[in-house]
Every structure is written in C-alpha cells, then in structure tokens.
C-alpha cells in the first residue's frame, strides 16, 4: 500500500492566492479546479480520496501538486502547446492593419470585418483576431475639437488652479446654461418595466416647447443654484447672477463660465463693477469640458431627462425644480482629476493644431 503523503505546506501568501483563484469567475475552469485541488492537498486528504471528491484521476492530483511545489500558483497554468502552425502570417497581419487604417472603398464610411474579408480574401475569424490583437476598432468613432483660443493655456491653467487650490475665504462656482431642453410627451402611455422586458414608449412624440436652465454649482459641496428660463437674454443672466450672490451674501465668489456674449458684454462688465466680491474666470473657447457644471448637466440628462415625459412646458419647469431640490439633498463635492501631465499634453496638442491651422 503506498505511503500517505504529508499535507502540502502553504505559505500565507500562497494560501490567499489559491483561495482567490478558487473563487474566481474570470479564470479558466481548469485553473479554478487546480486551486481547489491544492487547498485540499494542504488539508492532508489522500490523493485517491481527493481525486474522487473532485472527479479527477489520482495521478492528476500528483502531477499538479508537483507542479505547484516547483513553481507555485504559476505552475497551475496550462503550458503553451505547439499545435498547428498559424495560417495567417505576420505579413498578412500587417496587410490587414495597413488596410483598416486607410480610407475605405467608395460607398463605405468605414471598414468592417466582412468588408475587409471580401477585399483581402482572408478568413473573417483571422481578421477579427488580428484586429483584437492590435486593438483596432473601426466600428468606433470619437469626437474632438481643438480650441482656437490664443489664450488657451493661460485660461486653462487659471481655471484649473481655482479648482485645485481655491483662494482663501472664497467660493468657486461654475456657471453655465443648458439650453434647448424639450418638453416632450409621447402619443401613447409608457409600458412599465417587467422581467426580461425594459420600459417601453411610443416612438411618436409631441413637442410642448423648450426651456433653458441657468445653473451655478459650488464645487466644494456640489450644491446647485438654478433658474429655469425661456430666453437667454443678458438681463436674464444678470438677474440669475443676482440670485446667486444673494444665496452667498458677503462671500467672495470666483465664477467660472464660458465666453458667451451675455457673459462678456458691457452689461456683464458693469454688473461686475457693481459687485466687487465677484470675479469672472473664462474657460478657453470651445473647451466646455473645463467647466465642472457640465458634470451636473450630464447627471441631469442621464438620471432626469432621458426617460421623462412632460405634457407642457410648465410641467417641465416643475420637474427641473424638483430634480434640483432632490439632488441638493445628497450632492457631494466635485474634484478635478486631470493632472499636470494630462494638461501639458492637451496644451501641446492644441498649440500644434493652432499652428497647423486646424483649430
């Protein structure tokens, strides 16, 4: 009768790694099984008993125990097998890469796996694997917009400086307008959410006008002061700024905003002269991403407006007012996350674009 093996000795890091691997849902089933196998070996169970419990051959237990003793958890992975040589050569891979990065043929706006396969006469699976290997995604499209502002760097660093190091005894407020908010109603009632079925609504809608939302967000608390309006006139904006200053009486306010004409005209300058505790700090042209209030507008769109219906403009106004009241109960501070390295790259690319005449 074979001599019983001593329990497998595990260090604490090895035990933690094996337990993590045994619970993993992303690793292969074979690796998870082998991790469980090693944990049972550490409990002192004989190989035959252990093999019966895991429904494997006894010699497999011995094989993987030996691999683990030699290489730790790395020894539980499958070794690379020779297999059949790859049918697609490096030259063909480079051909796929070069083709997909060029303009597609007339009549197509982009390349796809089927169109590449038809063009190059290469198996679709091989093309798909090559695109994955080189992280090429011809189906995706992202937008960009270089700022033409000659003072881009100066304005960007000024605003970011306010975010990262606000002046003593001052509040930093981000102000902007969300325009063209439509009061849309559907021609038929919405059907509720059910198991396996999302909420549904008619694709036909009725317009009941639009509204604009003037909003000021305190980056230190996330609190939003807002006003629903029907126009974007200078007097409307300055009336809103009166309401903002009344919300923070006697406080020094650093207000971040864009270069809209109502923010920079003579009336705005006169208003500033009459409010010495307030200063305006303008974001670069075509750089709305610098204004943190855009984060709140994104929250409003995703959580409030995207699946709402409104039977009138007044109903939309009430909804916006209620949404902001609820939001302010649980809001939190907004933190700027683009560090110096990211900003330096953005500044450099913008300056190059301006020199090249792209911006």
Going from the C-alpha of 222 to that of each of 65, 176, 296, the distances in angstroms are 56, 14, 9
pLDDT the model gives residue 144: 79
What is the C-alpha separation between 308 and 300, in angstroms, rounded? 11
| Beta carbons within 8 Å of 190's beta carbon, 6+ residues apart | 199, 200, 201, 309
Contact 195, 215 (CB under 8 A): no
Asked if the 152-191+200-353 domain carries CATH number 1.25.40.20, the reply is no
pLDDT the model gives residue 75: 83
pLDDT the model gives residue 64: 87
pLDDT the model gives residue 2: 54
What is the C-alpha separation between 219 and 63, in angstroms, rounded? 60
Average pLDDT of adjacent 10-residue blocks, the chain of 359 residues: 71 88 84 87 83 85 87 81 74 94 92 94 92 93 86 92 90 94 89 87 90 95 94 93 94 94 94 95 92 94 91 94 95 87 85 79
pTM of the predicted model, to two decimals?
Answer: 0.69
Which sequence spans correspond to the domains of the chain?
12-76, 100-140, 152-191+200-353
């Amino acid at each position: 009768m074979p001599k019983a093996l001593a329990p497998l000795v595990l260090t604490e890091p090895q035990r933690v790694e094996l337990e993590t691997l045994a619970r993993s849902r992303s690793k292969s089933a074979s690796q998870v099984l082998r991790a469980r196998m090693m944990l049972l070996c550490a409990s002192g169970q004989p190989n035959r008993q252990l093999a019966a419990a895991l429904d494997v051959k006894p010699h497999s237990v011995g094989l993987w125990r030996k691999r683990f003793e030699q290489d730790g958890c790395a020894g539980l992975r499958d070794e690379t097998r020779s297999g059949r040589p790859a049918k697609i050569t490096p030259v063909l891979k480079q051909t796929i890469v070069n083709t997909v990065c060029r303009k597609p043929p007339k009549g197509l706006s982009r390349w796809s796996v089927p169109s590449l396969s038809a063009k190059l006469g290469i198996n679709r699976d091989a093309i798909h694997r090559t695109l994955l290997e080189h992280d090429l995604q011809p189906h995706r499209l992202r937008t960009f917009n270089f700022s033409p502002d000659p003072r881009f760097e100066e304005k960007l660093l000024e605003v970011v400086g306010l975010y990262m190091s606000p002046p003593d005894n001052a509040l930093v407020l981000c102000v902007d307008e969300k325009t063209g908010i439509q009061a849309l109603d559907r021609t038929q009632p919405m059907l509720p959410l059910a198991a396996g079925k999302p909420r549904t609504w008619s694709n036909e809608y009725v317009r009941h006008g639009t509204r604009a939302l003037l909003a000021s967000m305190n980056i230190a608390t996330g609190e939003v002061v807002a006003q629903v309006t029907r126009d974007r006139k200078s007097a409307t904006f300055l009336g809103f700024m009166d309401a903002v200053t009344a919300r923070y009486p006697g406080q020094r306010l650093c207000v971040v905003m864009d270069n809209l004409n109502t923010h920079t005209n003579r009336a705005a300058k006169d208003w500033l002269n009459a409010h010495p505790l307030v200063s305006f700090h303008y974001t670069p042209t075509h750089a709305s991403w610098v204004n943190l209030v855009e984060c709140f507008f994104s929250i409003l769109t995703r959580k409030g407006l995207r699946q709402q219906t409104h039977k009138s403009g007044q109903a939309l106004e009430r909804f916006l007012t209620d949404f902001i009241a609820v939001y302010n109960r649980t809001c939190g501070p907004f933190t700027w996350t683009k560090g110096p390295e990211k900003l330096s790259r953005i500044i450099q690319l913008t300056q190059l674009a301006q020199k090249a005449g792209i911006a």
